[in-house]
Amino acid sequence: MPRHSYTYKALNSLVGKAIHRYGMIADGDRIAVGLSGGKDSMTLLWALAERLKRVPVDYTLLPIYVDPGFPGGFAENLSMACRQMGFDLHVDYSDHGPMAHSDANRENPCFLCARMRRKRLFQIADKLGCSKLALGHNKDDVIETLFMNICYAGEISTMVPRQEFFNGRFTVIRPLAMVDENSIQRFARAQDFPRFANPCPSAGNTKRSEIKGMLQTLYRSNRKIRGNIYRAMSHVKPKYLLK
């Protein structure tokens, strides 16, 4: 892919803007990068690695993949893709997926699986000497989480670009928080990132998928809506909210 293509420059500009605005990365950081095998996390690893070549801030990237334990996993192929990018992937084999989808947990398998995965990522990051965990959530994920929490949790909240856990012991950073999903899709295609089939039986059939479909309908009606919703999350008027 040409270095100075529009997609490349736009992506790096937004990643850099997010990193600077929220103080995500400091010199000497050891950053665990949570991979899922999807376009977002692969783009995240690429962008952070490429950025190392251009900025006067030195940090170390350690990609991690928690295999959920479903048949048809792709850990070996993902490891190969990481090696081609110059990284050794730390793979953790778990049974989180089947456990979350067992008869003992019929109500919300995605919530339980995600919670167990995040807990394991923190544990591995700690073992690797990392105080920061980078995740590939993008602008659309942030918006969708706002609506998920409104509709299903009865609160106005979302995932934030930089968030501390355990009294500051760990910090989760989301450098793609300002990049929309469509831009990441175009970039991933241009980079020819490998595509892995998601073996999870709940893939594409979740509450998040329903929210995504609703929002896509809104976006098609007015191209300004996505940006307006995103900006609204940092322009809150508490005076006009219920108490």
Lowest mean pLDDT among 63-72, 104-113, 132-141, 179-188: 104-113
Each residue of 7-46: pLDDT tens digit? 788 999 999 999 999 999 999 999 999 999 999 999 999 9
Extract the annotated binding site: 34-36, 40, 66, 136, 141
> How far is the C-alpha of 239 from the C-alpha of 220, rounded, in Å?
31
pLDDT tier, 1 (very low <50, low <70, confident <90, very high otherwise): very low
Alpha-carbon gap, residue 38 to 200, rounded angstroms: 13
Residue ranges per structural domain of the chain:
6-240
What pLDDT, on a 0 to 100 scale, did the predictor assign at position 72?
84
Q: Is the pLDDT of residue 106 over 70?
A: no
Contacts of residue 214, Cβ cutoff 8 Å, sequence gap at least 6: 147
Helix, strand, coil percentages (3-state) for the chain, rounded to 5, are: 50, 10, 40
Beta pairing partners, 63: 33
The percentage of residues in the chain with a pLDDT greater than 70, rounded to a whole number, is: 96
pLDDT at residue 114 greater than cutoff 70: yes
- Mean pLDDT rounded to a whole number for the chain: 91
Going by pLDDT thresholds of 50, 70 and 90, the confidence category of residue 6 is low
Residues pairing with 163 in the sheet: 172
Q: Which of 64, 146, 157, 119 is CA-nearest to residue 111?
A: 119
Q: In what order do the strands lie in the sheet with 30-35?
A: 90-93, 60-67, 30-35, 132-134, 170-173, 162-165
Give Cβ neighbours of residue 184 (< 8 Å, ≥ 6 apart). 11, 39, 40, 43, 138, 176
pLDDT tens, residue by residue, 176-192? 999 999 999 999 999 99
Residue ranges for the known binding site for ATP are 34-36, 40, 66, 136, 141
- Residues 62-95 have pLDDT tens digits of 999 999 888 888 999 999 999 999 999 999 998 8
Q: pLDDT band at residue 205, thresholds of 50, 70 and 90?
A: confident
- Residue 17: CA count within 13 A, CB half-sphere: 10
Name which residue leads in pLDDT, 112 or 230.
Answer: 230
Q: What superfamily does domain 6-240 belong to in CATH?
A: HUPs (3.40.50.620)
